Every structure is written in C-alpha cells, then in structure tokens.
Chains A and B, each alone.
Chain A
Amino acid sequence: MPKDGGIGASTKRREDVRFLTGKGRYTDDINIRGQLYAHFIRSQVAHGTIRKIDTRDAEAMPGVVKVFTSADFTGVGGIPTGWQVTSRDGQPMLEPKHPVLAEGKVRHVGDPIAVVVAETLDQARDAAEAVEIDIDELPAVVDMKAAVKGGPLVHDEIGSNLCYDWGFVEENKAAVDEAFKKAAHVTTLDLVNNRLIANPMEPRVAVGDYEDHSGQHTLYTTSQNPHVIRLLMGAFVLAIPEHKLRVVAPDVGGGFGSKIYHYAEEAFVTKAAQILKRPVKWTSSRSEAFISDAQGRDHLTRIQLALDADHNFTALRCETYANMGAYLSTFAPCIPTWLHGTLLAGNYKTPLVYTNVKAVFTNTVPVDAYRGAGRPEATFQLERVIDMAARELGVSPVELRRKNFIQPDQFPYQTPVAVVYDTGNYQATLDKLLDLSDHAGFEARAAESKARGKLRGFGLAHYIEACGIAPSNLVGQLGARAGLYESATVRVNATGSITVFTGSHSHGQGHETTFAQVISEMIGIDASQVDIVHGDTSNSPMGMGTYGSRSLAVGGSAMVKATNKIINKAKKIAAHLMEASEADIELKGGKFTVAGTDKEKSWVDITLAAYVPHNYPLESMEPGLEETAFYDPSNFTYPAGAYGCEVEVDPDTGKVTILSFTAADDFGNVVNPMIVAGQVHGGLAQGIGQAMLENCVFDENGQLLSGSFMDYAMPRADDVPFYSVDHSCATPCTHNPLGVKGCGEAGAIGSPPAVVNAVLDALHRGGFTHVTHIDMPVSPSRVWQAMHG
C-alpha cells in the first residue's frame, strides 16, 4: 500500500496550487513605490577597446534619471570568483578582474557597457539609443586551442588566455602513462561537449532598494542562493555588511545552475538604488538572457581507455580544454576540475585515472555550472569511450560494463580519483534497466524497424555522480572559498504548528512539500501543520542554497538535525509533565507516552507547555521550542543508475526519433516518489535536449549564431518520449540521517551518452560501420553527414 503522507508518499506538490493559479510571486512581480527602470547597453562586438562613451544626449531625454558607466563604479570591487584552482606547476589560476560595467575593454557580445536608468523602461530604452559609444573592434578569440596558442589576449593584464592547467591525480600521471604502454588495447575518442544555454522559463530579474535613514539595502533577485549573493556582493563588491543587506529570492521560475552566480546586474541595481535613493529594477529580456546568463558545458576532450587482454579497464586518460568564456563566473573554475575529474572512475574498477584540464579564456559569454556541471561531461566521455571500446573489441557493451563494475561487496569504495563511494549496486540497476526496457525483445523490434526501412538502435549508459555538495573541510582544501553546509531553523509555535526556515532554496524542486513530509513523519503530525519558508536572508539562518542536488541530502539533514533537537527537548518537557524518566518517553504518531504505562501527552500539550511554562522545569530548561542546526556532510552522496535509450534513425534524412527511454536510478531512500520521478523527467528532457537539439554556437568573430529560439533548439514535448522511470534499486546513503542521495541532476548526467550510443548502434546495425562518433547535438544533418559524408 502506498503511503498517503510522510516519507515515501507521493504527496501532491502544495506549491503548485499557487503556481498553477497564477499566484506565484516572482521577482518581476515586485514593484516598489518610486521604482526606476534600468536598461543595460551591451557590447555588440566580442572584443574591443572602448574609446568614448558620451551620455549627454541620453541624459537630456525625457524621464532619464542617470546614465551609468564604469566611471560611476570606481570604488567598487569586481565580481568575485568562489573557487580557486591550482595549476600543475603549483601556481594559482589566473583571475582577471570582472568589473560590474566594462572598463576600457569589452570582452564578449553582451558585456555591459552602460546602463540607462529612467522613469519607465521605454524611456530607458529610447535613451539607450542616444548613448554614443565608440569602440575599436579587436580580433576576437573564440577557438580554445587558438586561444592558448598565442591568440589575441582576452585580458591583456594577465598575459595569457590559459586560466589554469590542472592535473589530477598528478602523482598518478606516470603510472597511467605506463599502463597505457602495457595495454592490450587502447581506445581513443576525440569529442566535443556542446555549449548550452540554460534558458529557465523565468529570465533573471533584480530590484534594488535602499533606505537612506537606516542605510539598509534590499536586493530582490532571481537566485538559487540568496545568502551566497549577500556574502559575495556585500563583502567583495559593494562593501555592505550583512546586517545592512537583505537579499530576497522569492518564487524563482527555474535556475538549472544559471541562477547560482552573483551577476553584475545585481550589484548594479543595489548600488544604483543607493546613489539615486530610489528603487531600481532590471528585468532581462529573453534575448538579453542569451548573452548575459552564464552558459554551460563547452569542453573539447580527448579520452583514452586502456584495457588488458581480458578486457579489464586498466587506465583512463583525459585531456580537456574547458571554455571559461570572457570572465570567471562564480563557480566556473571548479566545474571542469573537481566536479569532472573526480567522476572519471564512473561505476568501474579502473585503477588508474589521469585528467588534464586546461581552462581557457575566450571572447564568449562566461560559462559555469549547468544542471550536472562537470559530471555530464565526465559521464559522456566515459560512457562513449566504453561503447567505442566494446565495438572495437567486438564484445557486448552491456557485458563489458558489467565485467568492470565495482562489485556490491566493495563498498565503501576508494576510487583512484579521491572520492569514496559509500554505497551502490550497479548490477542491480543494470538488470532492472534491461528488464524494464525489454532488452530481450530488442532484436525483434529492430527487425520490424528494418522492414520499414528504418534503423533501430539501443544505447546504454551508466552514471555515478557526486552530489549533495559538500564537506566544507574537503572543498576548502580543493580551493572553495565558501563552506558548503546547510542550515535550518525549526520554529514550533505554541499550538503545535511548525515553521521551518531553510537555507535551501526551491525554484522548482518542491521543498515546500517534501520537507514538510519529513517533519510530518518525524513528529507524527499532519504535513498541513508544517510550513517551509525559504529565500529571505532576513528570516533564515545563513544557508548555502540549492544546486548540486544538495537540498534534501544537506538542507534536509540540517532540518532533521534541528527537529531532533526539538524532539529531545519536547521529550524532556513530556518527562516533566508526566513525572517520568526522559529515557522512557516515546514519541509516536504525535503522542508522547511513557514506556510500560498508559500515560500520554499530545504534541500540542507539550508545545503549549513550552510557551506557557506554568508547570515547567524553568530552573534547568529554557522555555520555547525553536532550534537551529547547521549540517555539514561528511561525504558527497553518490546516486547512480543505468539508462537505456532506443532510437530509430531515418537513413534518408538522418533524423533520429527516440522511441523509448528507460531510467533505473539508485537515489537511496526516497521521500516523495512522484517528485523524484518529475526531477528525473526534467533532467532527461534537458539531457536529451543536449544530445539531440541544443547547441550554443559563436562564429569566428564571437557573434552568437544561436541567439534566439529560432536557432537554439529547446526540447519540446514531442521531442521526448514517455519515460520509464524506476528508483526501486535503492542503496541508502550511509552518512546522512535520511539515507537520501541527490536526484536533481541525474537525468541530465546519464542521458546524453545513452542517446548517442543508441544512434551509433543504429548506424552500425544498418551497415554504416565507418561512423565511430557523432558530436552532440546529433541533429539530422550531422547524422546524415556522418553516414553519407
């Protein structure tokens, strides 16, 4: 019987009532009396020297309050980077200044040069056309290899376009090279991990407000982590202490990573509101989002797999160029390194792994984490090279994987790439996948396709990912400039209802529902008695926000920790009221009982006693029932799974149709199966989008060719199949109290190689054996070109 409440129940999402009835309150819904509107003037060239900015005509236009340039931001810091990576030679990465508004040079199409602030948005836009900007265009550098081989410098002052040259594990390099020399077989694959644009449904918005008499700043912003924005912007950019800076991220319409970072527009509206003593609002247009939101992926990789004569993986070697774009976005440096190199063992026993990553500045939009962040890149290359090796060796890709899996009795498993997997059972998810996808019936289906002149293929991919980030002491050693704990305050009200203030932030994840389910389960009260509050630095403890599939594993654990403190205190109160020993008090179904007696107190009896402490051990215990906890995980969580994709290729046009997609995931314990399935569905859609459709392309001058939805192909409903999703193969996480693993990014991590492997399988079965790889997106023209070109 499925549960109808608490942990394990597919409770409907309570937040959907307001979202689906138009009652959501997004940042653009916030309008403050006296508010002005900001319009950013952005560079139309990818690289150039700013000769002159003349704002006089614009400032004389109707409604214009002020036109800002970098001259108005001279006392302001640059946009900081939250992670420092160290190069192989021990030197820190090159970290050029990222000014709020361009200083002297523009470095990518979309780089903000000036901002018009006016009474209305139309007035601001009209005046923007009157700002005279004289730029000497410079040759742009777009190609990463050209950028490190003496191409034009994106940042003259640092003297190189190579941000860092990272090796991992550097001490293993010689042993890896040696293993390759001894290998019975080496498979080499050159591939591109295509650049993506996140495109959340809600574009970015920022509203700055300032109270002159108190010096209080408020920033309303579309953020996944308001406390992080407060810290970065307050401490590093505008020098505002936390108690004078409130950051609010209300309902946020999707982020996928792109709303983690501190952006120049946030600092701008905050500062402009102070200068002008009026609220200032900026709302991104969709076109602006294409050139100002941080983008994702963009790796150029050579991956090599060494095998012995028995087809055991003996070593893996990866050389990657990772595009940083023109500036370092907040977490950009850690994506191709610590979120990528540490995943290259995958689900396998490969004893030796070496990764070299060169991070490169180019005259393109900055790149940072996008759903999966580093882990999809790792998974794609690993799962592609394994399939390629199987084909070269003439063995089954299923069996080659199975042979090399880490075995269930090997956990906890120390990988050669630093991380320790706590639990897993990869055979189980593989078997589940083969069963759910009717792998046994594939040949018959392939024959049926062939009879219709179509090529059918099956593609398998396994993934493991490290999420629920992250142990603060570990990431500190790796260069993080922040801790990655999470916080929660559980406030029990006098009559027993509960308000939870979490440092996690929901922008689609459903925390308001799932977090309440956890509390409901722990205390035994109805979930309707619990409200989850997030997104406002003025009412919640310092939190690190939501990304890296960390909300339940880290934020949920903080909440569990705080709730356990509540329960412990409540038991003490119950023991006092029932004149029993605290050790004998049991809490079940919202009632406190004394073991072995019929004594009983309700939850509300206790909460009332806490706030009306007439009969209460005041000498030994404070009244009230409110607790805060911070939880710092001792390890990442390691969700893993097997994904299977079945496609049909039209050999005449190269068009690929996904006929079925099956996901067998191990997320450990699951709080709300429906929400988890929804997370997987969304991740799969984005992974299939990367594999089949999406591609962010700049031309050689740094102009964005895929600058709108006319050319950037987002997946539509009819581009994806009905998914078959399973998460019954659960090996609970061993180190967090709920035994949960992150589920938010898995779909986007595991699906791209499954799709591409399926396409290659179809082509090979159809006799196009010369095709060894097709870069994503596997668009009709690319597939046809590979077959016939």
Chain B
Amino acid sequence: MHNFDFVKPSTIAEAVAALSHEGAQALSGGQTLIPTMKQRLAAPATLVSLTGIAEMQGVCLGDGGLHIGAATPHATVAREAKAHYPALAKLAGGIGDPAVRNKGTVGGSLANNDPAACYPSAVLASGATIVTNTRTIAADDYFQGMFTTALHDGEIITSVVFPIPEKAAYVKFDQPASRFALTGVFVAKYAGGVRVAVTGASQDGVFRWHEAEAALSANFSPAAVSGLAMESRHMIADLHGTPAYRANLVKVLTSRAVAAAG
C-alpha cells in the first residue's frame, strides 16, 4: 500500500469539500477499496472517510419507506431493518462474513456497483431512491452497467430510501470461492405490481426481469415464471458458470424467491 492522507469529516459538507481536492477518494467500509490499495492497484492521495458522519448512519422509517444511512454497516441493517423489511435485512445478513458485515456499508456497495454484489438487486427491485448530497436518483436511473453508476465525481450517497413491499425475498446462489452472488434474485411485490431484480448474472450488471414482473404481477406464484424464457446472450461466462447456467439460475432463483416471499 502506498502512503496516503486520511481525513474523517463529521459533516457531509466537510466531506464534499475534502473530496474536491485532487487525488481524494471517498472511503466508506473499505471492503473493496482497501484490498485494492493493498494490491497497489489504487493509490489515492487522500482517503475521506464517510463513517464519522452521524447523518449518514442508521435505519429508520420515514417518508417513502425505510431510510438507511449510506454509511450504515450491513450488520446494522441486518439487525435494524428486520422488523420493517425482513427480506432486505436477510440480504444484508448474508453478505460476506461477520468482519465484512461490520465494516462494509450499503452506500459503498452501491457506489462500487460490483456486478455480483447483493445490494443493487434490493435497491432495484424495491424501486428505491438513492439520495446524494446534491439530488435524488431513482434506482432505475442509477445502475448503468458493471461498476458504473449515475454518480458524478465527488458526489456522495448519503442515504437510500426503500419503499416497503407487501412481500419480498432475496435468494442468492453463492459463487463457490468468493461467495458473492453467482446469481441472486430479489423479488418485491407492491400494490402497483411486482419488481424482479437480478444480480451476478449479466455482463451489464444488475437488471430487472420485466417478463417475470409481468407474469408475477398477474399471478404471484412460483409456477408463474416456469413458462418464461431467460436469454443467456448477455450473461457472464467465467470459471464458475456458463451463460446458460446463469440464465437457468435466474429462473430457478426467481421461482424460489417467490416461494420464499410467501
């Protein structure tokens, strides 16, 4: 790891100011950035920690649903979202291992937008709103492909607002080595319809499976997806699965998520 300066502001305004300097990089839970720096693949001049900002912490009910501070660790979400949005809490409780869950944050995961991360599927399936220091971004506009988001340089996610569904479930199929999602499907049923988001499978990152949403909106049952075809054309091919395998997992896991949602 190269040397760097470290600042830990206590307000969003201070963080934004610190990030405006050349070579500054936001640091949340550091579960991706720190290993990358240890590998000397990233060498920011200054790390601006976002974990000391009180207003970016915590889980509470508010306008539009469940508000989660962007710097809230997964373990806290797993604990505190349980009463309000159990499927989201379960997703948070299944990320990585205890050390990862105690450090990693929802904002960090969303800003990184790893194609195999869990959180993007919950955000997209919930139609959540990403709140930044300058604006709000709808989930449907936020994810723009692998490791790519609508965020501007220096923009900080401050919180995420999750509308609470009637029913929901996340089913993840582990990649055997990393235990990231080889494929994960989040299904959320709202009064206005069902949303289905898939992570881990596509070369374009997290995506909504619209055909399944239509079928499940008409008939919210595991069998509703059995007649659907999932294209494998844009699926990821790697050591752990072929595109056809991932396409199959999308169907199987969607059906299982519907069953789990009850």
Query: Footprint of B on A, CB under 8 Å?
Result: 125-126, 129, 287, 652-655, 692-693, 695, 697, 705-706, 709-714, 777, 779-781, 784-785, 788-789
B173→A780 contact, CB < 8 A: yes
Minimum Cβ distance to chain A for residue B1 (Å): 8
Chain A residues with Cβ below 8 Å from B238 are 711
**B234 at interface (Cβ–Cβ under 8 A)?**
no
A709→B241 contact, CB < 8 A: no
B248→A784 contact, CB < 8 A: yes
How big is chain B's contact interface, by range?
10 to 19
Chain A residues with Cβ below 8 Å from B241 are 780-781
**B176 at interface (Cβ–Cβ under 8 A)?**
yes
Minimum Cβ distance to chain A for residue B201 (Å): 12
A287→B39 contact, CB < 8 A: yes
Give CA–CA (A129, B177) in the complex, Å: 30
Give CA–CA (A693, B241) in the complex, Å: 13
A710→B178 contact, CB < 8 A: yes
Chain B residues with Cβ below 8 Å from A788 are 248
Chain A residues with Cβ below 8 Å from B178 are 709-711
Inter-chain contact count A-B, CB under 8 Å? 53
Chain A residues with Cβ below 8 Å from B176 are 692-693, 713, 777, 779-780
- Apart from A125-B40, A705-B239, what are 20 other A-B pairs with CB-CB below 8 Å? A287-B39, A653-B173, A653-B252, A693-B177, A695-B239, A697-B239, A706-B177, A709-B177, A709-B178, A710-B177, A711-B178, A711-B240, A714-B177, A779-B240, A780-B173, A780-B176, A780-B241, A781-B240, A781-B242, A784-B245
A706→B252 contact, CB < 8 A: no
Other-chain contact of A653, B239, B240, B244, B249 (Cβ < 8 Å)? B249
Chain B residues with Cβ below 8 Å from A784 are 245, 248
A785→B242 contact, CB < 8 A: yes
Give CA–CA (A125, B39) in the complex, Å: 11
Give CA–CA (A713, B173) in the complex, Å: 15
Give CA–CA (A779, B239) in the complex, Å: 10
Give CA–CA (A653, B247) in the complex, Å: 11
B248→A711 contact, CB < 8 A: no
Give CA–CA (A709, B177) in the complex, Å: 6
Query: Footprint of A on B, CB under 8 Å?
Result: 2, 39-40, 173, 176-178, 180, 182, 238-242, 244-245, 248-249, 252
A713→B177 contact, CB < 8 A: yes
Closest to A716 in B: B179
Minimum Cβ distance to chain B for residue A708 (Å): 8
Chain A residues with Cβ below 8 Å from B240 are 711, 779, 781
Minimum Cβ distance to chain B for residue A648 (Å): 16
Chain A residues with Cβ below 8 Å from B252 are 652-653
Chain B residues with Cβ below 8 Å from A705 are 239
Closest to B256 in A: A652
Minimum Cβ distance to chain B for residue A634 (Å): 45
Chain A residues with Cβ below 8 Å from B245 are 654, 780-781, 784-785
Give CA–CA (A780, B40) in the complex, Å: 34
With most chain B CB atoms within 10 A of its CB, the pick from A711, A777, A788 is A711
Chain B residues with Cβ below 8 Å from A780 are 173, 176, 182, 241, 245
Closest to B178 in A: A710
Give CA–CA (A126, B3) in the complex, Å: 11
Closest to B39 in A: A287
Ordered by A's residue number, 30 sampled pairs between the chains whose C-beta atoms are within 8 Å are A129-B40, A287-B39, A652-B248, A653-B248, A653-B249, A654-B245, A655-B173, A695-B239, A697-B239, A706-B177, A710-B177, A710-B178, A710-B180, A711-B177, A711-B238, A711-B239, A713-B177, A777-B176, A779-B176, A779-B240, A780-B173, A780-B182, A781-B241, A781-B242, A781-B245, A784-B245, A785-B242, A785-B245, A788-B248, A789-B244
Give CA–CA (A106, B182) in the complex, Å: 35
With most chain B CB atoms within 10 A of its CB, the pick from A287, A697, A777, A779 is A779
Give CA–CA (A268, B241) in the complex, Å: 41
Other-chain contact of A706, B39, B173, B239, B242 (Cβ < 8 Å)? B239
Give CA–CA (A693, B54) in the complex, Å: 43
Closest to A652 in B: B252
Chain B residues with Cβ below 8 Å from A709 are 177-178
Chain A residues with Cβ below 8 Å from B244 are 785, 789
Closest to B173 in A: A653
Give CA–CA (A452, B82) in the complex, Å: 29
Minimum Cβ distance to chain B for residue A341 (Å): 31
Closest to B177 in A: A713
Chain B residues with Cβ below 8 Å from A779 are 176, 240
Chain A residues with Cβ below 8 Å from B242 are 781, 785
Give CA–CA (A125, B2) in the complex, Å: 9
Closest to B40 in A: A125
Minimum Cβ distance to chain A for residue B37 (Å): 13
Closest to A712 in B: B177
Chain B residues with Cβ below 8 Å from A714 are 177
Give CA–CA (A558, B238) in the complex, Å: 51
Give CA–CA (A789, B244) in the complex, Å: 9
Minimum Cβ distance to chain B for residue A76 (Å): 30
Chain B residues with Cβ below 8 Å from A695 are 239
Would you list the 7 A-B pairs with minimal beta carbon distance, nearest first? A713-B177, A781-B241, A713-B176, A781-B245, A710-B178, A652-B252, A711-B177
Chain A residues with Cβ below 8 Å from B182 are 780
Chain B residues with Cβ below 8 Å from A655 are 173
Chain B residues with Cβ below 8 Å from A126 are 2
Minimum Cβ distance to chain B for residue A785 (Å): 6
Give CA–CA (A714, B178) in the complex, Å: 10
Give CA–CA (A576, B248) in the complex, Å: 84
Chain A residues with Cβ below 8 Å from B239 are 695, 697, 705-706, 711
Minimum Cβ distance to chain A for residue B202 (Å): 16
Give CA–CA (A126, B182) in the complex, Å: 36
Give CA–CA (A777, B240) in the complex, Å: 10
Minimum Cβ distance to chain A for residue B124 (Å): 23
Closest to A783 in B: B245
Minimum Cβ distance to chain B for residue A310 (Å): 43
Minimum Cβ distance to chain A for residue B221 (Å): 17
Closest to B38 in A: A285
Give CA–CA (A780, B183) in the complex, Å: 12
With most chain A CB atoms within 10 A of its CB, the pick from B39, B40, B240 is B240
Minimum Cβ distance to chain B for residue A242 (Å): 40
Give CA–CA (A654, B252) in the complex, Å: 11
Minimum Cβ distance to chain A for residue B40 (Å): 7
Closest to B253 in A: A653
Give CA–CA (A653, B239) in the complex, Å: 16
Give CA–CA (A694, B11) in the complex, Å: 46
Give CA–CA (A706, B240) in the complex, Å: 10
Give CA–CA (A451, B243) in the complex, Å: 30
Give CA–CA (A705, B240) in the complex, Å: 11
Minimum Cβ distance to chain A for residue B184 (Å): 13
Chain B residues with Cβ below 8 Å from A785 are 242, 244-245
Give CA–CA (A287, B249) in the complex, Å: 31
Give CA–CA (A706, B245) in the complex, Å: 19
Minimum Cβ distance to chain A for residue B116 (Å): 10
Give CA–CA (A463, B238) in the complex, Å: 34
Give CA–CA (A781, B180) in the complex, Å: 15
Minimum Cβ distance to chain A for residue B167 (Å): 22
With most chain B CB atoms within 10 A of its CB, the pick from A125, A287, A713 is A713
Chain A residues with Cβ below 8 Å from B173 are 653, 655, 780
Give CA–CA (A784, B242) in the complex, Å: 10
Chain B residues with Cβ below 8 Å from A781 are 240-242, 245
Minimum Cβ distance to chain B for residue A18 (Å): 25
With most chain A CB atoms within 10 A of its CB, the pick from B176, B180, B240, B252 is B176
Chain B residues with Cβ below 8 Å from A713 are 176-177
Minimum Cβ distance to chain A for residue B72 (Å): 25
Minimum Cβ distance to chain A for residue B154 (Å): 28
Minimum Cβ distance to chain B for residue A655 (Å): 8
Chain B residues with Cβ below 8 Å from A711 are 177-178, 238-240
Closest to A705 in B: B239
Give CA–CA (A125, B38) in the complex, Å: 11
Closest to A789 in B: B244
Chain B residues with Cβ below 8 Å from A287 are 39
Closest to A655 in B: B173
